[in-house]
């Protein structure tokens, strides 16, 4: 309820501009501001004052790709927000989950399999299931990549499973081709390209024959990040 006392009203506006009110209170104040020019003017003054505090912050470099997303979204018929694959690749919560299980998984998995002289390894896990490694990748000192299944997984027979990597988010993911579910795969260095620590790899479920675009279009089945050995 909007108070009658003018001092209380002024404080309520100050709290509103700071974002301290509950959603219900904030909605009520918004309606009040729409109808009361004096109150709206006071809110506007508070906002102008607070701009000075915002200007104390050091400007941050703008991430590559953000302007392009804004451009697309504001263009006629543009798409909204980041594409799913990009949001997933860039999701810190996903990577926190993946990273949490990664070191343990590496220690557990590398011993028995003993891939000769790998320089990078990746444990691919189902998103959000850090304890469920599905595939392991090793990259040798020559740059060859071996993808090895670690568990039996079921895949729809009418879909393809595609292998991707992402070294630079600004460039987007790069397809490493389709895989045969449950079967190991070896790719030469010329196909894999340079691999660096933290580089992302994933398997996605795609239409038969692979993604119709130059990026993943289907759900992520397994995902992981390269760790230097």
Using CB under 8 A, list all residues that contact other proteins.
7, 10-11, 14-15, 18-20, 23, 26, 42, 44-63, 66-67, 69-70, 73-74, 81-82, 87, 90-92
Nearest approach in angstroms of CB 92 to other proteins is: 6
List the helix and strand counts (H, then E) for the chain.
Answer: 7, 9
Q: State which residue, 94 or 150, has the beta carbon closest to other proteins.
A: 94
Nearest approach in angstroms of CB 170 to other proteins is: 13
Nearest approach in angstroms of CB 138 to other proteins is: 30
Q: State which residue, 71 or 129, has the beta carbon closest to other proteins.
A: 71
What burial letters (b/e) apply to 172-202, b meaning 16+ CB within 10 Å?
bbebbebbebeeebebeeeebeebeeebbbb
Contact between residue 136 and residue 121 where contact means Cβ atoms under 8 Å apart: yes
Identify which of 140, 137, 145 has the alpha carbon closest to the alpha carbon of residue 109. Answer: 137
Nearest approach in angstroms of CB 215 to other proteins is: 18
Q: State which residue, 44 or 171, has the beta carbon closest to other proteins.
A: 44
Contact between residue 97 and residue 88 where contact means Cβ atoms under 8 Å apart: no
Contact between residue 107 and residue 79 where contact means Cβ atoms under 8 Å apart: no
Q: State which residue, 44 or 180, has the beta carbon closest to other proteins.
A: 44
Task: Tell me the C-alpha distance between 17 and 46, whole Å.
Answer: 7
Q: State which residue, 94 or 106, has the beta carbon closest to other proteins.
A: 94
Task: Tell me the C-alpha distance between 145 and 222, whole Å.
Answer: 17
Nearest approach in angstroms of CB 42 to other proteins is: 6
């Amino acid at each position: 309820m909007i108070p009658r006392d003018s001092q209380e009203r002024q404080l309520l506006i100050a709290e509103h501009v700071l974002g301290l009110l509950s959603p219900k209170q904030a909605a009520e104040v918004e309606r009040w501001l729409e109808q009361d020019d004096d109150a709206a003017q006071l809110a506007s003054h508070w906002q102008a004052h607070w701009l000075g505090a915002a200007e104390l912050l050091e400007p941050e470099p703008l991430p590559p790709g953000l302007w392009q997303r804004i451009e697309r979204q504001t263009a006629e018929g543009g798409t909204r927000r980041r594409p799913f694959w990009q949001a997933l690749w860039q999701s810190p919560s996903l990577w926190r989950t993946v990273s949490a299980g990664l070191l343990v998984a590496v220690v557990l998995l590398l011993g028995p399999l003993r891939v000769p002289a790998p320089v990078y390894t990746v444990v691919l896990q189902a998103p959000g299931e850090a304890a469920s490694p599905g595939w392991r990748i090793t990259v040798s000192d020559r740059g060859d990549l071996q993808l090895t299944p670690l568990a039996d997984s079921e895949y729809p027979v009418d879909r393809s499973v595609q292998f991707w990597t992402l070294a630079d988010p600004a460039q987007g993911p790069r397809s490493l081709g389709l895989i045969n579910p449950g079967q190991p795969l070896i790719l030469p260095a010329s196909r894999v390209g340079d691999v660096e620590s933290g580089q992302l790899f994933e398997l996605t479920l795609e239409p038969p024959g692979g993604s119709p675009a130059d990026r993943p279009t289907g759900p992520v089945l397994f995902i992981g990040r390269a760790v230097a050995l």
